[in-house]
Structure 1
Amino acid sequence: MITTRIPRLLAAAVMGAALTGVALIGPAVAQDDPEDGIDVSVTIEPRTTPGSVSMTVADNTGVALQENGSDAAARQFVGTLPTVTVTDTRDPAQIPAGDFWAVVGQAGEFVSADGSAPPIGPQYLGWRPQLLSDSPTGAVAAGEPVSSVISDGSGAPTVGLQGQELLVSTANSADEIGTWQVNADLALRTPTDVTAGEYRTTLTLSLFNQS
């Protein structure tokens, strides 16, 4: 008698599980009522804070120039300027005709760390700016490349980095609104007999807005 009851208990357990499963997956019926919709609205007031032109430089720990491209005419040391961003949030209607802005770079003298060597003047440092943002209308452009007074053979003016444009806008204020990014390849070309040692300088970037 015991052996005949065990199969019945198992069968009952299986049937209970099957019924429970059917109950869990039963469809839920939703009642859609268009009157229950939520109206979402927003009122955007006119801008009260006037826009501006601002500049930021990407976080960096400085640029360590590395020797690359030296030749019989000069020793050359190269690196890349951190990304510079200019943001113009002004209302084009409020910008005077002919208004433009420019980012200008000025290098100081490279001074030896221990003060034992003659300084290397900014005329030996050149750069080649590169616009990183798309400017299909040409509203904003990278500055012209300049070379060390010891020419690199590229044909760039050999004036060094002494008050040179990195990024400049046109006089069309409606097109220059937005965010623009630029960097530059740096190249220090010194005489071949430059005194060995560690040198440092400060490259100052300034944003000018003129009409």
Structure 2
Amino acid sequence: MKITRTTQLLAASVLGLALAGAGVAGPAMADDDPGTGNGIDVSVKIEPTTTPGQVAMTVADNNGVALQENGSDATARQFVGTLPTVTVSDTRQPEDIPAGEFWAVVGQASQFVAADDPAKTIGPQYLGWKPRLLSDSSTGAVAAGEPVSSVISDGTGAPQVGLEGQELLVSTANSSDEIGTSQVNADLALRTSTDVAAGEYHSTLTLSLFNQS
């Protein structure tokens, strides 16, 4: 389903806290006559360091996705591949999440451009995907996004809108349930016209983590 809600990009950051080590001095040399109780006790209470909870996204190491022709027919040429695993971890406390807030990973493909001729292009509307939830340690409050098809139908009945701002993974608006780690990938399918110009084409698929309300 194409995003129409108000969104805000999450700027995930990690605050590193360090306690600088200090040398421990040896016992001070005292006078032969230590006196009668002039010493001053110096104390400090050092609390454990904590890192604030956050929502963070990582993508498995990869060398890109090389789509391979598979499933072509009389109506379209089809090229398929698999998106690398995407992981979202939510380590916030329930009380730190505003009521009604949830997050989503959104995918946006750029235009495919031929390496030998920039005038030859294939629009992102020809690229579809089928997200697949691989694991979820939340209490069932995270779901894979809806499948979308190329504007040339794949016969599944999925919306024919292409990959132009589609949800890959989304949490619900229930802060206490969405906390945890979830992993997702997706089957990619580029369906073009049968007379598409030959060539090696390249596109950039951008994945962004947003919070939504």
TM-score, normalized by the shorter chain, greater than 0.5: yes
Cα deviation, 1:164-208, whole Å, max 9, x if unaligned, reads 000000001111111110000000000000001100000000000
Structure 1 residues 90 and 134: alpha-carbon distance in aligned structure 2, compared to 1, 3 A threshold: closer
Residue 150 in structure 1 maps to residue 152 in structure 2: yes
Q: 1:115 aligns with which of 90, 114, 117?
A: 117
Q: How far, CA to CA, are the matches of 2:61 and 2:163 in structure 1?
A: 22
Contact 1:56 1:84 in 2 (8 A): yes
Q: How far apart are residue 136 of structure 1 and its match?
A: 7.8
Q: How far apart are residue 137 of structure 1 and its match?
A: 4.4
Q: How far, CA to CA, are the matches of 2:110 and 2:135 in structure 1?
A: 28
SS of the residue 1:128 aligns to: strand
Structure 1 residues 176 and 47: alpha-carbon distance in aligned structure 2, compared to 1, 3 A threshold: farther
Contact 1:76 1:190 in 2 (8 A): yes
Task: Figure out how many residues of one structure are paired with residues of the other and give that number.
Answer: 167
Determine the structure 1 residue equivalent to 2:211.
Answer: 209
Q: How far, CA to CA, are the matches of 2:122 and 2:107 in structure 1?
A: 17
Q: How far, CA to CA, are the matches of 2:210 and 2:48 in structure 1?
A: 28
Q: How far, CA to CA, are the matches of 2:118 and 2:99 in structure 1?
A: 52
Q: How do residues 115-194 of structure 1 correspond to structure 2 at under 5 angstroms?
A: 115=117, 118-134=120-136, 137-194=139-196
Q: How far, CA to CA, are the matches of 1:98 and 1:134 in structure 2?
A: 20
Q: How far, CA to CA, are the matches of 1:111 and 1:118 in structure 2?
A: 6
Q: How far, CA to CA, are the matches of 2:185 and 2:48 in structure 1?
A: 35
CA RMSD of aligned residues (A): 1.5
Q: How far, CA to CA, are the matches of 2:136 and 2:83 in structure 1?
A: 19
Residue type of the alignment partner of 1:160:
G
Cα deviation, 1:98-149, whole Å, max 9, x if unaligned, reads 0100000000000000116520000000000000014684300000000000
Q: How far, CA to CA, are the matches of 1:54 and 1:136 in structure 2?
A: 15
Determine the structure 1 residue equivalent to 2:83.
Answer: 81
Q: How do residues 19-38 of structure 1 correspond to structure 2 at under 5 angstroms?
A: none
Runs of 4+ displaced beyond 2 Å:
45-49, 134-138
Residue type of the alignment partner of 2:126:
Y
Q: How far, CA to CA, are the matches of 1:137 and 1:116 in structure 2?
A: 47
Structure label with greater radius of gyration: 1
Contact 2:79 2:191 in 1 (8 A): yes
Residue type of the alignment partner of 1:147:
S
Q: How far, CA to CA, are the matches of 1:47 and 1:156 in structure 2?
A: 49
Q: How far, CA to CA, are the matches of 2:114 and 2:67 in structure 1?
A: 14
Structure 1 vs Structure 2: percent identity of aligned residues?
Answer: 83
Structure 2: tracts of 5 or more residues without a match: 1-46
Structure 1 residues 116 and 106: alpha-carbon distance in aligned structure 2, compared to 1, 3 A threshold: closer
Structure 1: tracts of 5 or more residues without a match: 1-44
Q: How far, CA to CA, are the matches of 1:105 and 1:201 in structure 2?
A: 13
Q: How far apart are residue 209 of structure 1 and its match?
A: 1.2
Cα deviation, 1:80-113, whole Å, max 9, x if unaligned, reads 0000000000011121110100000000000000
